[in-house]
Structure formats: structure tokens, C-alpha cells
Amino acid sequence: MDAKKLEIIERSSQIFMRYGIKSITMDDVARELGISKKTLYKYFQDKNELVVTILSAKIELDKQYCKRSNEESENAIDELFNLSKFVHEQVGQINPVVFLDLKKHHPEGWELMRKHKWNFIFNMIHKNILRGINEGVYRSNLNPEIVARLYVGSTDLIMNEEVFPWPEFSFDKVFIETIRFHIRGMASDEGIEYLKQRIKKETNE
């Protein structure tokens, strides 16, 4: 990908995550990036195309990281902890209005995110549960289909500003707490002991 286009995608993403999508115009993007509108429109026909391109890039990044995490993690619990750290680094203090803006004003982008969630993320969590059961760190009586759906469904709750008003409850902090709650509910006795050591390691780092 063209280096300039990649830079626009990355920096525009930061602007949208901080201020929301609806309130930011293409003029604002050009001004914040220190480029002309002509340059911006050379790469993107309109704001919707820019938003969809940003989401597509982030989805690809997610897929690459999740694959690598699965291959390099010590066990299923370690894999989910690594995922939580990745999400923390990616979303930071994301403004939840972004999700409302997506759903209302950028349905194509919202559908991309929905499909990613219920296809790729669901399958990843489902496989993680089966892995954890086989490794003995998750309870053997788990129903992977139900638990994976509970996990993916919880992401909608995390984004609900009525439940977790921003900035009092930042997305990244709520997500990490959800991950820990999720793991604790799945863990076997062996898994709980590993979880305690993993949290201790995290807090001491």
C-alpha cells in the first residue's frame, strides 16, 4: 500500500477514535493531518470510504495478531491475556460515540465489524475454549457454543454507554475486566492457579 495512504489511514483512525466520526469532516481530517483536501481526495472518494478502509485495515491487523497469539501463547488462558493486552494497546481511551456513529451513519462499516465479530472472533473464541478444555486449564463441562456466544455478545454490552458511561468507564479497562471475568468462569482448578500467577505477573510488570 502507498506509504502516504497508509499514513492517512493510521492518523485519521486516531482522530476518529478520539472525537467520534460524525463530528469530524474531511476538511478537519486534512487540517489535522497537515495535508491538502486535494491530497486526501486523491486516496479517498469520501469520508465513508475512509472509514470503511480504516475498519478493513484494523480487521486485518486483528486477524494477524490473533493468529500469531494462538501460535505463540503457552496455553488458552495465556492466549486470551495476550489478546486483552493487544486490544488495550489498540483502543486506548476510545470514545464510545464512535460505535454509535458507525451504526447510524456508516452502515457498511458497521456491517464489516458485525461480520468480523460473529465470524472471525466467534470462531477464534470457540477454538480457544476447545484448546483450554484439551489443555485442562478450562472446565471439561463447558459448552463451547454457548460460552463463545456469551463472550461475543458481551462486546455489545461493553460498548453500551448507558451501562458503562465514558470516560468514567473507558473501553479498554472494561474489556480487560470482562476478559478476566470470562476466564475465571471457564477455568478449572488448574486454570485458576495459572490465572493467579498470570495476573500476579501482569501486576508486577
Predicted local confidence at residue 49, as pLDDT: 96
Mean pLDDT on 66-85: 90
In DSSP terms, 187 is beta-bridged to 138
3-state secondary structure of 21: coil
φ/ψ of residue 159, rounded to 5 = -85, -5
CATH number of the structural domain 3-204: 1.10.357.10
Question: Domain ranges in the chain?
Answer: 3-204
Average pLDDT over the chain, rounded to an integer: 89
pTM of the predicted protein model? 0.86
Picking from 88, 180, 71, 55, the residue whose alpha carbon sits closest to that of residue 127 is 71
Predicted local confidence at residue 16, as pLDDT: 93
Q: Is there a cis peptide before residue 144, judged by omega within 30 degrees of 0?
A: no
Block residue for cell numbers 456513529: 101
Mean pLDDT on 91-120: 88
Q: Say if residue 46 is exposed, middle or buried (CB neighbours under 10 Å; 0-12, 13-18, 19+).
A: exposed
pLDDT by residue (tens digit) across 29-50? 999 999 999 999 999 999 999 9
154: pLDDT strictly greater than 60: yes
Q: At what angle do helices 76-91 and 171-186 cross, to 10 degrees?
A: 170
